[in-house]
Amino acid sequence: MPMFNAFWQQNKLIEMRSSEKNEQYVRYGDFRADPVKNALGTPSGKIEIYSKTLEKIWL
């Protein structure tokens, strides 16, 4: 990885290599595979866009 000034002057993208493990990673993969067995740590056990719990905290 070049120093910042050299990078900035070159004005080119730097391609970052990714490991095979990272290529296969799926965020919340266990939950997506079986949401009942792998419930999340939210009141509903699901991904929550809106949460009454957080609303109470922020009011």
45 to each of 11, 25, 26, 42, 52, how far by Cα in Å?
Answer: 45, 21, 18, 5, 14
Q: Where are the domains of the chain?
A: 20-59
**Using CA atoms, how far apart are residues 57 and 49, in angstroms rounded to an integer?**
16
pLDDT band at 54 (very low <50, low <70, confident <90, very high): confident
User: What integer pLDDT is reported at residue 32 of this predicted model?
Assistant: 94
User: Which residues have a Cβ under 8 Å from the Cβ of 45 and sit 6 or more positions away?
Assistant: 35, 39
Asked if residues 53 and 40 have their Cβ atoms less than 8 Å apart, the reply is: no
Kindly state the helix (H) or strand (E) to which residue 10 belongs, with its residue range. Answer: helix 4-10
Assessment of whether the complete model's pTM goes beyond 0.85: no
pLDDT tens per residue across span 2-53: 788 988 899 988 888 888 888 888 999 999 999 999 999 998 999 988 888 8
